[in-house]
Structure 1
Amino acid sequence: MNIKESEVNNYCGLILVDKPAGMTSHKIVSLVRKALNIDKVGHLGTLDPFATGLLPVLIGGATRLSDEIMDGKKQYLFTIKFGKETDTLDATGRVVDEKDVPRNYTELIKDKLNSFHGEIEQIPPVYSALKMNGKPLYEYMRASGSIPNPIETKKRKIFIQNIEIVDSNNSEETISLRVLCGKGTYVRSLARDLAKAINTVGYCSQLRREFVEPWHVENAISVPADIDKEELKNEIKANLIPVTEILNSIPIIELDECYSKQISSGNIVLLERNNSFISEHLFQRNNFFSAFVKVKNFEVMFYSEIKFLIEFNQIKIMPKKKMY
């Protein structure tokens, strides 16, 4: 029996979750899997267990779109605790260094912020999911307390679009900042580096992700660890973002039923340009673009590449990733 398209879409899309502190990103995925009784669930951009905030979760065939979605900007609100540095660069780790904190640290940080704008180099935390010799760094650290090669070998360039002071607390020797940054930025490393820039040490004591382009945490649902499966299922159905809205700049192309066998099998479809279902304006900028391709009255859709074969005056549809 065929499943209606509306029912398929209920299990194919993206849900925005406001992750609570103390819960892993993997735990969120596990709760969603159990609530929907499906295996294809994955999150975008791991949040550390101590962190809170926006965790986008892909469901069903939408999990295949992670590469197309991951390049957007992210915004974090974070707090630096000065005077101590930990091996994890957060409050859960072991103290590895201590140093006096300048009394005027807020003014000093303010003076240094310009040097943290734009493209900068960053050394990631040793406790991270980055791989060395095919194994995550945190696994080495948990097993032996060290990694095979210096962490400096993992130095990378990141992009900071904006960073600003939100608040400071002199009695606690903390400062809170908001940062809008590009892919691959470690806020724990940023906290460490800001502290070093004013000749002290520090760690990230609080971290909240507020934004993953184009989604804001204000639109996310809460998922406590003890949430009822049926309650979570209903929340997901009510708030699921369809795949065509996840990448809303991608056009949707609907073909006649005669192409159902080819598309359903993921086979290439060739169309004569003068008898095409594709609007001419889509080729005005480029002879190659991506689109969601559907078939009328069939519950199937592929994320596809579309190419205009100039020499044959044909349009080539190449299904790449099946959504449902």
Structure 2
Amino acid sequence: MTCLRTIWLSTPMKRMSWKYFRQLTLNLVGDSMKGKGDWIVDDSAKTNQAFGCLPNDRPLEELLECGIILVDKQSGPSSHQLAAWARSMLGINRIGHGGTLDPFATGLLTLLCGRATKVTGELLKKPKRYVAVIRFRRPFESEELHELVSQMQGEIYNVPPKESAVKVQVRTRELTKSELTQTEEGDRVHLLSIDCEAGTYIRTLIRDLGLLSNNECELLELHRSSSGSLRDQMACTMQQLADAVFLWKEHDDPRGILRLLSPVEEILDDIPKIIIKDGAVAALSHGAPLARPGIVSIPKGMPTGATVLLSSLKGEAVAIAELSVDSDEIPGMKNGQVATPRTVIMQPGTYPQTWSKE
């Protein structure tokens, strides 16, 4: 890795961060650098710097067309209201949010701009971490509560509360970890940390905790601290967003808003990637299937139907696709369809077409 950093220091690309240089190098030479050795590599593939760009090098206009903003939601407004305020401030037509927080809840809320709204479904699938302040009607011994909370793991029944906007029906959710971290007010008020599957209703979970303990339990505060690899420390307040927009629009200073906008690739980094050649990007951005000759690298052990991210040599998200064949069969193929795009992310025309119009 020291040698890799030395190469990075000598690169002529002024704005390429160490993070992205390392990522792109791993994409090209394979995950063997991590000790996995699970990539198929085409060493002859090159990228044309005249088309596309590194995700972190996108200009403001492109980030507003396909980017994300991480907001630290305060108690009071709904998630929909925050998205509407951001839409009005930025002056763009389409902004959505991934993962609704109740008005009383605080914490990480991801706003998706423009084409980034297409990947809302991928964001909703990510595991979440919450911190809840709960209060029991009667004092509860910490040791007894620790034992009860430690049992709250694995698959559980989780019925949406009546306050929820979704259909109230029995469903199951996976709890990865529940941990009691702090106790106060005579053992009635407790701080609970919960790692859970997407779609888990914490209000219901706390109600069930009261039923299990035969001691009515109330949810006082709820904070979402993470969603997948995204953390609340990375988020800005709505006031900070408003200040950045003011500097951009009134003083022609986009530095603040550029720091708050991130490329859509930030929320897709946990999807297995197929790296594709420049010549295949244009067709894929129009929804065409990926053929074997267009591949640079692909992870091993991926079954037919698996979800993959089709990524350019510069690390740009082109499309989310489904594998048409097992990835282990691809080395023996010379032609044929490999993956079918399910959600196209890249704007058509970013790369020149290489097929004939006739």
Report the TM-score range of the alignment, normalised by the length of the smaller protein: 0.7 to 0.9
Inter-CA distance 322–269: structure 2 relative to 1 (3 Å threshold): closer
| Larger fraction in strand | 1
Name the SS for the 2:198 alignment partner.
Answer: coil
Name the SS for the 1:155 alignment partner.
Answer: coil
Specify every segment of 5 or more residues in structure 1 that has no aligned partner in the other structure, as ranges.
84-100, 132-150
Report whether the alignment pairs 1:292 with 2:310. yes
Report whether the alignment pairs 1:227 with 2:242. yes
Residue 81 (structure 2) aligned to one of 24, 27, 41: 27
Kept in 2: contact 1:256–1:295 (CA 8 A): no
Question: Which amino acid counterpart does residue 243 of structure 1 have in structure 2?
Answer: V
Residue 36 (structure 1) aligned to one of 83, 90, 100: 90
Report whether the alignment pairs 1:243 with 2:264. yes
Question: Which amino acid counterpart does residue 310 of structure 2 have in structure 1?
Answer: F
Deviates more, 1:286-295 or 1:247-256: 286-295
Kept in 1: contact 2:275–2:298 (CA 8 A): no
Inter-CA distance 204–17: structure 2 relative to 1 (3 Å threshold): same
Report whether the alignment pairs 1:107 with 2:124. no
Report whether the alignment pairs 1:277 with 2:294. yes
1:208 and 1:194 map into 2 onto residues whose CA distance is 18
1:241 and 1:55 map into 2 onto residues whose CA distance is 14
Partner of 2:343: 321
2:93 and 2:247 map into 1 onto residues whose CA distance is 16
Which ranges of 4 or more aligned residues in structure 1 deviate by more than 6 Å? 309-312
Alignment of structure 1 residues 11-160 onto 2, 5 Å: 11-83=65-137, 101=138, 103-131=139-167, 154-160=169-175
Partner of 1:208: 223
1:22 and 1:172 map into 2 onto residues whose CA distance is 28
**CA drift at 1:253:** 2.4
Question: Which amino acid counterpart does residue 261 of structure 2 have in structure 1?
Answer: L
Question: Which amino acid counterpart does residue 336 of structure 2 have in structure 1?
Answer: Q
Q: Deviations over 1:292-316 (max 9, x none)?
A: 36699xx994444454698983235
Specify every segment of 5 or more residues in structure 2 that has no aligned partner in the other structure, as ranges.
1-51, 249-253, 348-358
Inter-CA distance 287–187: structure 2 relative to 1 (3 Å threshold): closer
2:63 and 2:106 map into 1 onto residues whose CA distance is 28
Give the root-mean-square deviation of aligned CA atoms.
3.4
Residue 181 (structure 2) aligned to one of 156, 160, 166: 166
Question: Which amino acid counterpart does residue 17 of structure 1 have in structure 2?
Answer: V
- Bigger relative contact order, structure 1 or 2 (CA pairs below 8 A, ≥6 apart): 1
Q: TM-score, normalised by structure 1?
A: 0.72
Kept in 2: contact 1:10–1:237 (CA 8 A): no
**CA drift at 1:218:** 0.6
Name the SS for the 1:256 alignment partner.
Answer: helix
Q: TM-score, normalised by structure 2?
A: 0.66
1:232 and 1:188 map into 2 onto residues whose CA distance is 40
1:270 and 1:16 map into 2 onto residues whose CA distance is 32
Partner of 2:276: 253
Name the SS for the 1:227 alignment partner.
Answer: helix
Name the SS for the 1:65 alignment partner.
Answer: helix
Inter-CA distance 285–221: structure 2 relative to 1 (3 Å threshold): same
Question: Which amino acid counterpart does residue 291 of structure 1 have in structure 2?
Answer: L
Name the SS for the 1:180 alignment partner.
Answer: strand
Kept in 1: contact 2:275–2:297 (CA 8 A): no
Inter-CA distance 279–229: structure 2 relative to 1 (3 Å threshold): closer
Kept in 1: contact 2:134–2:217 (CA 8 A): yes
Kept in 1: contact 2:160–2:201 (CA 8 A): yes
Inter-CA distance 304–263: structure 2 relative to 1 (3 Å threshold): same
Aligned length: 276
**CA drift at 1:28:** 1.3
**CA drift at 1:119:** 1.2
Inter-CA distance 187–269: structure 2 relative to 1 (3 Å threshold): closer
Partner of 1:190: 205
Name the SS for the 2:104 alignment partner.
Answer: coil
2:240 and 2:75 map into 1 onto residues whose CA distance is 11
1:159 and 1:213 map into 2 onto residues whose CA distance is 15
Q: Deviations over 1:36-74 (max 9, x none)?
A: 222221111111111110111211111111222322211
Question: Which amino acid counterpart does residue 157 of structure 1 have in structure 2?
Answer: T
Give the percent of matched residue pairs that are identical in Structure 1 and Structure 2: 30
Kept in 2: contact 1:305–1:320 (CA 8 A): yes
